[in-house]
Each structure stands twice: as structure tokens, then as C-alpha cells.
Amino acid sequence: MGVVKICGVRSRDQVHAAMTAGADLAGVILGPARRQVPFMAAARWAEEWPGRLVAVLRGASDSIWNEVWKIPWAGLQVYDSPELDWVERARALGLLTIRPGQSERDRAGADILLLEGTAPGSGQALPWEQVGRPEGRFWLAGGLSPANVGRAVRILNPDGVDVSSGVERDGVKDAALMQQFVTRAREAMG
């Protein structure tokens, strides 16, 4: 069965709703972004749901990188890193390593390639029919929603799916949409 991740959660209630909906993982953004979460809040949620939250690091400060290793994350999703050995360091701690990109060459040694568009979190969909299936383990992101996740999964057969804006109403995570997304993703992934 594939992994379902709901990214860009911004409150404890949203994490709870994602877990209640049946998501395997929730992503918290720790770098500058519209869905950024204060580090200490994200750390508390990770303590409450150990091994269920993914720290999403893009443009994160050195102070966040210094502290991120002390929290019981499920994994690290890294866009850029001041630490060249972040994959090895994360694996030594038993963390899943996730690297976003548009092709296998973007994996850079990570466990999971997060196949997504050029504007993460924007809702911009990849042209699924034109994207080749990567060789290794990958999750599909970018423009997914309850309405299209089944089709996307049938086309690319990913090892997991990752959604953010596709489960929001007016820019806020919606519990009903999260439930619909998880249900349809699970049906499609078998």
C-alpha cells in the first residue's frame, strides 16, 4: 500500500485532522513560505505524533538545521541544505530522506524522489502522461486533489502521493477534503 502525505499543515488541529483522515504522514514547512510553521510548534507536534511528521526544509536557517536533528521526525524533505551529508546523517537517525525534483537525476541519493512541478505548493499539476516513471521509489506531488489523484496514480503508479493546496479551502486545510483525498488515493493505490 502506498504512502499518503498531507503537506503544509499549519496547526495542531490540522495535523490531527490529517491523521484522523488516515494520512500516513504530515509535512511541516520550516523555511520561509506561506505555510511556514514556527519550529517550536512543529517540534511539539512531532513529539505528540512521533514518526508521523516530515520536516520540509527549503531556505531554512542554520539555527533550524542545528535543531532539526533533535526531533522525532519521520523524515526530512530537503530542497536545499547547508549540510552536504544530510542524507547520511538522516539515515543514521533512521529518518526517511526525501528529495524533490522532476526526474531521477534530482534524487541525489535520497530514499524518495518527490516528483513535483516547478512551483511546490502552488497546485500546479505535472503533465502526468508526459512524465516518465522514475526508476527508484518516488512519491507524486503537484496539483493533486481528491478529484484527480486516482487518475494520476493510475498513470504513474507512484509509491506514494503528497498533497497540499488540493485539500485546502480558501488557503486553509479542510478536514473533509483531506478525508476524500486519503480515501481516493488509497483506492487507487490498492
Nearest to 184 by CA among 170, 168, 166: 166
Grid coordinates given for 89: 546523517
How much is the pLDDT for 102?
87
Distances in Å between the Cα of 169 and the Cα atoms of 4, 31, 48, 177 are 19, 23, 26, 9
Count of structural domains, the chain: 1
SS3 75: strand
Confidence of residue 103 (pLDDT cuts 50, 70, 90): confident
The reported pLDDT for the residue numbered 68 is 97
pTM: 0.95
CA distance 62 to 38: 14
Residue 1: is its pLDDT beyond 80? no
| CATH classification of the domain holding 45 | 3.20.20.70
Distance of CA 74 to CAs 4, 51, 55, 89, 183, Å?
A: 13, 4, 8, 14, 22
In the beta sheet, which residues pair with residue 97? 76
pLDDT in tens, 140-155: 998 999 999 999 999 9
pLDDT score for 26: 98
Lowest mean pLDDT among 81-90, 128-137, 174-183: 128-137
Reading the block at residue 143, the C-alpha cell is 496539483
Residue for grid cell 521509489: 137
Task: Report the pLDDT averaged over residues 127-141.
Answer: 89
**Do residues 95 and 76 lie in contact, with contact meaning Cβ atoms separated by under 8 Å?**
yes
Amino acid at 150: G
Task: Say yes or no to pLDDT of 118 above 80.
Answer: no
| Res. 175: pLDDT tops 80 | yes
Average pLDDT over residues 122-135: 80
In the DSSP assignment, the letter for residue 113 is: E
- Bigger pLDDT: 105 or 1? 105
Residue 50 pLDDT greater than 90, yes or no: yes
* Residue numbers of the domain that contains 50: 3-189
**What local confidence, expressed as pLDDT, does residue 82 receive?**
86
